[in-house]
């Protein structure tokens, strides 16, 4: 198979039309459409498509994906959803976990995502690491089409031993939700210590309890300063920041900006977003993720980065940065772009502009990973106006 391919006639986000030559997994050249050598290599006609750097999914729970139907709704809000998930393992076998996770990964791939960070519950039941083990298998199965990063997410009662074993089983990040522990600070310290010992990154669910008196993200920033922890740290959720006064929010955003912590927002119709504009203004490159895919927390998650970007409410270019460049940075990947030398991980969508794509969320998409087309969705539409 040739390692050179020309994408011809693509519309770029800035409105220009370009032929884009991909070579050896990277963008090689961008040319105007009247360039004499434009048909020199194998080609893909992208007339009518908008070409974007491929998005990444920085925060999803693949082990919970597609469980909405069997578990049913929970009227008690977020904690009710977490509790109903915690009693679930007896209901789902290994085969079910593998089937749902694979289906979710295929959906993400078709939507254009070429890198995923998934949080996975560990410590449940008799096989405490089964989600990590299944996902490590799927990581190998999907390695040609996406980079899959596993976060081991312990409950407060999960032992240190199990958390360290999860890293041996394939997790590259330690996660957790410290506010569920009797002592949130102590749990945060424990997870930081374990990440340090296992030499992996940390990605915590913080400040998602709708109680702004307890700002765990501020505690974490202070802990990081005191500990000298040198690995990447991500704070996810942070919905409590929405409830702060402008001056308190200003202080917290300054603390976050000074800590070099990454931040992931989870904008969704359930209102779990955070004040992205304030953080961006303070120089924090906030990423945005989908969190739920039709699970107990949200019956209608779409696993669609276009929908996530649209839900941020930001201007189109900043919204796309949140699900593309900023999201890749959370995963420790080099930032994608549309310039020579950038990785040829790209998404083409049937649209004339980014604003249109975020408004219409077109299903018509072509996904390119390392210079190769890995997914193509071409919906058909028939409308009969007259008999």
Q: Smallest distance, Å, CB 159 to Zn ion?
A: 22
Residue whose CB is less far from Zn ion, 109 or 236 = 236
Q: 167-226: which residues touch Zn ion (CB under 5 A)?
A: none
Rounded CA gap, 97 and 62, in Å? Answer: 9
Beta strands 17-23 and 26-31, pairing class: antiparallel
Stretch that binds Zn ion, among 17-25, 179-187, 291-299, 317-325 (CB under 5 A): 291-299
Rounded CA gap, 268 and 265, in Å? Answer: 9
Range 194-208 burial, b when 16+ CB lie within 10 A, else e? bbbebebbbbbbbbb
Strand extents, DSSP E, 24-103: 26-31, 42-45, 49-53, 57-60
Rounded CA gap, 114 and 370, in Å? Answer: 9
Residue whose CB is less far from Zn ion, 187 or 291 = 291
Q: Is 314 helix (H, G, I), strand (E, B) or coil?
A: coil
Residue whose CB is less far from Zn ion, 232 or 336 = 232
Q: Smallest distance, Å, CB 59 to Zn ion?
A: 6
- 137 C-beta neighbours (distance < 10 Å), count: 13
Cβ atoms of 18 and 30 within 8 Å: the answer is yes
Rounded CA gap, 167 and 132, in Å? Answer: 9
Q: Smallest distance, Å, CB 61 to Zn ion?
A: 6
Q: Smallest distance, Å, CB 311 to Zn ion?
A: 15
Residue whose CB is less far from Zn ion, 19 or 291 = 291
On the 0-12 / 13-18 / 19+ scale of CB atoms within 10 A, 164 is middle
Stretch that binds Zn ion, among 77-85, 90-98, 103-111, 288-296 (CB under 5 A): 288-296
By CB under 5 A, how many residues form the interface with Zn ion? 1
Site string for Zn ion, 248-287 (x = CB under 5 A): ----------------------------------------
DSSP 19-43: EEEEETTEEEEEE-TT-TTTTSSEE
Residue whose CB is less far from Zn ion, 57 or 291 = 291
Q: Smallest distance, Å, CB 270 to Zn ion?
A: 12
Residue whose CB is less far from Zn ion, 9 or 176 = 176
Residue whose CB is less far from Zn ion, 124 or 291 = 291
Q: 349-378: which residues touch Zn ion (CB under 5 A)?
A: none
Residue nearest to Zn ion as judged by C-beta position: 291
Stretch that binds Zn ion, among 12-20, 29-37, 149-157, 289-297 (CB under 5 A): 289-297
Q: Smallest distance, Å, CB 161 to Zn ion?
A: 24
| Contacts to Zn ion by CB under 5 A | 291
């Amino acid at each position: 198979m040739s390692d050179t391919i020309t994408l011809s006639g693509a519309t770029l986000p800035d409105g220009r039309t370009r032929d884009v030559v991909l070579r050896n997994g990277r963008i090689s050249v961008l040319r105007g459409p009247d360039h004499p050598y434009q048909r020199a290599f194998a080609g893909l006609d992208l007339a009518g498509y908008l070409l974007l750097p491929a998005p990444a999914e920085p925060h999803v729970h693949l082990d919970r994906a597609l469980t909405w139907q069997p578990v049913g709704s929970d009227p008690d809000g977020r904690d009710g959803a977490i509790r109903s998930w915690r009693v679930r393992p007896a209901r789902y076998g290994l085969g079910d976990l593998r089937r749902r996770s694979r289906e979710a990964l295929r959906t993400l791939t078709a939507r254009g995502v070429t890198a995923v960070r998934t949080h996975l519950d560990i410590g449940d039941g008799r096989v405490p690491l089964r989600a990590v083990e299944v996902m490590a298998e799927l990581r190998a199965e999907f390695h040609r089409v996406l980079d899959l990063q596993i976060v081991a997410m312990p409950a407060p009662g999960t032992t240190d031993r199990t958390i360290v074993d999860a890293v041996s089983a394939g997790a590259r990040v330690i996660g957790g939700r410290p506010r569920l522990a009797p002592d949130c600070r102590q749990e945060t310290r424990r997870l930081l210590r374990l990440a340090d010992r296992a030499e992996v990154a940390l990605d915590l669910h913080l400040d998602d309890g709708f109680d702004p008196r307890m700002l765990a993200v501020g505690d974490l920033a202070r802990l990081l300063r005191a500990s000298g922890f040198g690995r990447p740290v991500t704070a996810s959720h942070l919905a409590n920041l929405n409830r702060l006064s402008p001056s308190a929010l200003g202080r917290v955003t300054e603390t976050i900006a000074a800590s070099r912590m990454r931040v992931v927002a989870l904008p969704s119709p359930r209102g779990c977003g955070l004040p992205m504009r304030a953080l961006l203004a303070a120089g924090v490159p906030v990423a945005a993720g989908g969190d739920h895919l039709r699970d107990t927390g949200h019956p209608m998650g779409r696993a669609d980065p276009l929908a996530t970007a649209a839900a941020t409410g930001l201007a189109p270019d900043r919204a796309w940065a949140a699900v593309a460049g900023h999201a890749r940075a959370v995963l420790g990947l080099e930032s994608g772009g549309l310039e020579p030398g950038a990785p040829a991980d790209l998404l083409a969508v049937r649209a004339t502009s980014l604003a249109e794509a975020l408004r219409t969320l077109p299903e018509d998409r072509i996904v390119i990973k390392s210079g190769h087309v890995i997914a193509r969705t071409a919906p058909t539409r028939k409308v009969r106006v007259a008999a």
